[in-house]
Amino acid sequence: MIYVTLVENLSLVFVAGLITALATGLGALPFFFVDEFSDRWNVGLWGIASGIMVTVSLFGLVDEGLAYASGGFPTLMAGGLLAGVGLVVVSDHVLGDVDLTEMTDSSDNNASEIRANGAGDNPDLAPEARAFAEGDLKKLVLILGILTVHSFPEGVAVGVSFAELGLDGGASILGFSIPLLAVFMTIAISIHNIPEGTAIAIPMRALGLSNWRMVGAAVFSSLPQPIGAVIAFVFVSWAEAFLPFGFGFAAGAMVYLVVTEFIPEAIETGSDLPNRGYPELLAGLAAGVIAMIPVMYI
């Protein structure tokens, strides 16, 4: 019976992580109907995603971590925050050191055609987008391994939020008592993944690639998230004493991602807009915070 319950819980957490991964593909769907996605909307979406992630991290993950800690500012929480930041820094360093052009087989006709269109020499093209464009299976496997590090914090945030799965007080969904934090975190990560999917799809649209290939590339970039969610859930379930570390890790990684990636991406996207897109960014941030604060205290 315990084994069956464990399998059910792990399956539920995996599905939640998979939902966040699939949500990345939603970012490419507008290109089924329009040729271009407004920079104004892109900036606003990055702002909303940032507001949601910071709010859930500070008022959800950190609050939960402090609740499990005993006395004063917990050492485990601080260690988790630093570890989360450290993982993002390392993953960015690893991604920055990858030279995809050296991994391309010059005999691959499809890759040669893409390079002729400028993909191979475009440093702004997302690694996973370039790999999909060239249709290089070996490169896709390598990129998936790298993205496992990069997307892992987002999956961890989902997995950790399920720490109280099955306990009273959660939302009843499909016969499971799911912690409200888990519901909010799954929704928050999913919303945050949408503009990431759009960012991946934009350069692929410029190359004239098919709509479904753009969707596939977007989803592919977030596939490590359900794996990270399951690993994190198993860890916090079997080592409850380390829950403050787990919550701190997820919060540190999420806030650092917002500060170093989401906000800079929004500012770069809005560089040609009036006032450099700051009104749209601030409006998005405010909308994200306002949308999440009430539900965090239900």
Q: pLDDT tens across 237-256, in order?
A: 777 777 788 888 888 888 88
Span 188-213, average pLDDT:
77
pLDDT-derived band at 131 (thresholds 50, 70, 90) equals: low
% of the chain residues with pLDDT over 90: 7
pLDDT at 56: 81
Least confident range of 5-19, 120-134, 165-179, 251-265: 120-134
- 3-state secondary structure string across the chain: CHHHHHHHHHHHHHHHHHHHHHHHHHCCHHHHCCCCCCHHHHHHHHHHHHHHHHHHHHHHHHHHHHHHCCCCCCHHHHHHHHHHHHHHHHHHHHHHCCCHHHHCCCCCHHHHHHHHCCCCCCCCCCHHHHHHHHCCHHHHHHHHHHHHHHHHHHHHHHHHHCCCCCCCCCEEECCEEECHHHHHHHHHHHHHHHHHHHHHHHHHHHCCCCHHHHHHHHHHCCCHHHHHHHHHHHHHHHCHHHHHHHHHHHHHHHHHHHHHHHHHHHHHHCCCCHHHHHHHHHHHHHHHHHHHHHHHCC
More confident position, 200 or 52 = 52
pTM: 0.69
Is 50 exceeded by the pLDDT of residue 113?
A: no
Average pLDDT, the chain: 76
pLDDT at 99: 54
Q: Domains of the chain: which residue ranges?
A: 2-296
pLDDT at 111: 44
Q: pLDDT tens across 33-74, in order?
A: 877 667 888 788 888 888 888 888 888 788 878 877 665 557
Span 108-134, average pLDDT:
51
What does residue 172 show for φ and ψ, rounded to 5 degrees?
A: -85, 110
